[in-house]
Every structure is written in structure tokens, then in C-alpha cells.
Amino acid sequence: MSTPGTTATPGPAGFARRLRERERLVGYWIACDNPAGTERIAGLGYDYVGVDGQHGVMHQPGWQTAMLAIDSRGRSAGLIRVPSADPVAIGVALDTGARGVVVPMVDTADQALTAVRACRHHPAGTRSLAGPVRGELRLGSVPAEIDDETACIVMIETAAALENLEAICATPGLDAVYVGPADLSAALGARYFGDPSAAGDLEAALKRVTAAAARRGIACGIHCLDGQSAAVRLSEGFTFATVSSDITHLQQIAAAHLAAANAA
């Protein structure tokens, strides 16, 4: 999934480098606190598996277990979406051994810089060396080497983020921007995600985001409803895309089997 024309998955090591080099990456989203399910997903060959610590039921105690489940398969890089740009939350997420964080609701370059610095040790940032109990097992103990293996991704999903897009993309040390299309469409006036009356505005905004990221040479990702949508977005200039989520697919598949059984 890493590059066009190949099927081999390089594994979690080097994920941050591949992201920075703008390789094509495909990921999956975990919303359920279900380690056995997460482990199954992590063995499928996705380049990364994102764990949602902002929404859903995945709170901090579950982050560690999710990273253990992902790492047990040795195929996907584990990422955590933290609740905000709070350096404490970012530090906790990275200390679980996550290969990077996704930071939501970033409106300004200052907030983006706060997130970046929380991912880096002195002198580049503010991350503490005191407690990477599990992170050290995955990434070593040399601060510069840990920083090189850690990805900082901030989300573009508000009107303010669009207004400050160029400055956010120019944030020193930022590895990628990531579009949350549901929140972004709401910020653009959509009554609900998928509202056709706002579709044109959303598509125009997405073009702005991919162009700004390309100008600054950073990766650009987006969350998608399905694999087909991910393929389209990757063809449009996004360098990484996340496919749906475990809780969405659980409901879709269960409903489809129920319908099939009742039809019989």
C-alpha cells in the first residue's frame, strides 16, 4: 500500500520518514476500545492504524492497549488522535509507543507549533524524557532518533484553519496536515456531512489544502468513508488517506447480514 504498483507493507519502522517523503499511505481508523478487533485490523496490511482518543470510547487507559495490539502484528504504524493540542496529552500518547499523533481543531500556526514542539525533545521542543516507558522500547532512547521517528499531524477542519492555512503548513517541523471533512463541511455551511448544497465549497477547500501542503512540501491526508473514496482522494493530490472506522463497518456489515437473512 505504500507506493503505487507494490503490495509489500514495510511495517511501522520508518513511517514518519515515508510520511515526510509524501509516499502514498493508506490507513484505518479505530473508535472502539476492542484490543482483539484492533489486533485483527492491524494485521491486514494498512500502512497505519489511527486510534481515536478525541471521540468515541477510546480514553487514555485504552491508548496503551491499542498500541500493544497494533504492534503485536508488526505491520502497521500506530497513531493516536489526541483530544487537543495539549502538550500533556500529546506526551502521554507518544509515551505509549505511538508513531505519531493527530491533533484536532488546530486553528492557527501557533497551535500547530505547540503540537510540533510537544512531539520533539530539547532543543527542538518541550517533550519530556522522564517517562517514555514503552515509547523507549519501540523507538530507542536517543532523543534525536526518537524525534526522527515521530510524526506530528494537525487537522484542518475549521474556518479559522482555512484562513490560516498557509501559515499552518509553513510551521517548522510539521510533518502533515489532515482534513476532517465532516467538521470542515460544517464550517463551510453544510447542514450535515454530505449536504449537496455545500459540496462545491468543500471540494474547493480540499483543493486549497492539497495545494498549500504541496507548496510547503508536507504530507496531506484526509478521512474517507470507504476505500473507493480513498482511492479518488489519493488521485487528487492527497498523499495519505484513512478508510472509515471499525464501528462504522461493524454496523454496516451486521445490517447487511440481517437484511440478507430476512430476505431469505
Enumerate the active-site residues.
Answer: 55
Compute how many other C-beta atoms are within 10 angstroms of the C-beta atom of residue 122. 11
Amino acid found at 20: R
Which neighbouring-strand residues pair with 233?
Answer: none
Structural contact between residues 179 and 155, judged by C-beta atoms closer than 8 angstroms: yes
Write the DSSP symbol of residue 54. S
Give the residue among 208, 177, 202, 176 at the shortest CA–CA distance from 187: 202
Q: What CA–CA distances, in Å, run from 34 to 65, 66, 69, 70, 246?
A: 9, 8, 9, 11, 10
**Backbone phi, then psi, for 220, in 5-degree steps?**
-140, 120
Torsion, Cα of 11, 243, 213, 235 (10° steps): 100
52 Ramachandran zone, left/alpha/beta (phi>0; psi -120 to 50)? beta
Buried b (16+ CB within 10 A) or exposed e, 125-154: bebeeeebebbeebbeeebeebbebbbbbb
DSSP states of 167-198: HHHT-TT--EEEE-HHHHHHHTT-SSTT-GGG
